[in-house]
Amino acid sequence: MRNCRVWVLCGALAASAALAGCYKGNFANCAVSCATSADCPGDLACSAQGLCSAGGASCEGMMPMPDADLSQPQPLTVTKTGDGTVASTPSGIDCGATCTSEFPPLSSVTLTATPTSGSVFDGWSGDCASSATSDCSLTMDGPKAAGAKFAQHGALRWVKQISFSGQDYLDSRLSLDGNGDVIATGQVDDNGVNAIYTVKYSKADGHIIWDKKIDAPTNFSFQSPAMAADSAGNVYMCARFSGPNMSTTINGTTVTGDFFGNIVALRLSAANGTIEWVKQWGGDGQDVCDAAVVSGTDVFFTGSTSSSPSIFGSFTLTGAGVDSGFIVKVPTATGDPSAAQVLVGQLRITTIAENAGQVAIGGGLLSSFTSISGCTINTSGTGEDGFFMVFNNNLSCAFAKGYGSSTNGQVTTTYGLAGVPGGGWIATGGFQGPVLFATSGSSIAN
């Protein structure tokens, strides 16, 4: 057994730990390797753990601290880079000016980092490295040191390159987990093998936390993967999966090929990217998954289908035989669809977002859309109109908006959507000619 000392503060801490009295001044001494109370100094008794303790109390759960003399105040040193200050509660540290101070042993100290105007707090190091916020709480059970980094708004943090032997496309498939770490997904070619590649980078310095390459089976291929992540860091992907009309497997799950393309959806674990479920949806036409978003315990996938019907688990969607749209709600735990809607018309979907339990999709519309009761968009001309639609959590339509030019052949498209905290949506896109927003030059029901 290793010899060490465990110091226990008297007063409030001693009372909360059910320790009676003190031994020799301000501290009680728990010594190691007592067989009986006769081995203990003064009025200490031998506990069941073989430690001398005050009043015969148990020493279980006490932390041995052989290197710190806790009869003395403990030093705390802060270093910082960039424009900002670090202050302590209780007072003592005010860095810039005062970056080192001493605090009572075993006391609790909170450091708070505050950036100056034009800067942003960029993280802790040292004994505060585990803190993900601008506050860091420390227990002074020995000397402590913490580093605080500040950076200018827009300052470059890190740059990483993904490079396989063939062509690599990551497009805009990015997401953040609850810790702010970056997750990216794309389509790569590795020595002639088509694959989906997903990588998780540390927000602090860009080092790879994990990566996962999912090779397409022989004679099959993945195209245009879409991805979203939940706050825990689990990843949800969907991609067009094409190949010969025969069965194959992905991670032990049987899927069937289609020359036009079906949809494969997957969940990857937050810990290391392990595949946790695989699902296949679609029909005898072309089925493409364009975007994904997580809302609570569900993930929503959206895209286009020329299949009629197109099968999503227990849901059968009947489209127009051209590029109708779809949106499907899937519990994150199982991957089995719990709701689905078809958007009959000729459209392309480019984006999806969530806000306060609702989900919005946007893109371009080439023909009037009338398939969901209460949500009708009439096109303004013979070109492409932009649109966005908002769905309630059960995929009933809340409202739909369209915008475009009445000049034939001109194009308007929604490319980005975001929810506004507290309610509302922001849409971005591109347009040709004069555009009448939110009326499409014709009727919209909402």
| Confidence band of 136 (pLDDT split at 50, 70, 90) | very high
pLDDT tens for residues 305-343?
999 899 999 999 987 677 888 999 999 999 999 999 998
pLDDT confidence of residue 47: 74
Domains in the chain, start-ordered, CATH in brackets? 5-56 (no CATH), 74-152 (no CATH), 163-333 (2.120.10.10), 345-446 (no CATH)
Separation CA 60–CA 48 (nearest Å): 8
Q: Look at residues 225, 182, 180, 173 and name the one whose alpha carbon lies nearest to residue 200.
A: 182
Residue 129 reports pLDDT greater than 50: yes
Q: What is the pLDDT of residue 380?
A: 67
21-43 confidence digits (pLDDT tens): 333 333 344 444 578 888 776 67
Per-residue pLDDT tens for 347-388?
889 999 999 999 999 999 886 665 566 677 777 667 788 888
What does the pLDDT average to over 230-241?
A: 94
Residue 10, pLDDT above cutoff 50 = no
Taking residues 91-96, what's their average pLDDT? 94
CA distance 337 to 331: 7
Instruction: Give the pLDDT of residue 376.
Output: 76
- Region 389-409 average pLDDT: 87
Q: The tokens of 114 are what?
A: 């505050």
Mean pLDDT in residue range 14-18: 37
Q: What percent of the chain shows pLDDT beyond 70?
A: 81
Q: What percent of the chain has pLDDT over 90?
A: 47
Instruction: Assess whether pLDDT exceeds 60 at residue 99.
Output: yes
Model confidence at 250: pLDDT above 90: no
Residue-wise pLDDT tens digits, 185-235: 999 988 888 899 999 999 888 999 999 999 888 888 888 889 999 999 999
Between CA 402 and CA 150 the distance in angstroms is 44
Closest CA to 379 of 365, 362, 360, 397: 365
Placement of tokens 């968009």 in the chain: 377
Residues in the chain: 446
pLDDT at position 9, please?
A: 40
Whether the predicted pLDDT of 172 surpasses 60: yes
Instruction: Check residues 179 and 92 and name the one with the higher pLDDT.
Output: 92
Partners of 302 in beta bridges = 291, 327
pLDDT at 100: 96
Peptide bond into 217 cis (omega under 30): no
Question: Over 70: is that where the pLDDT of 298 sits?
Answer: yes
d(CA 157, CA 140): 32
More confident residue, 74 or 171: 74
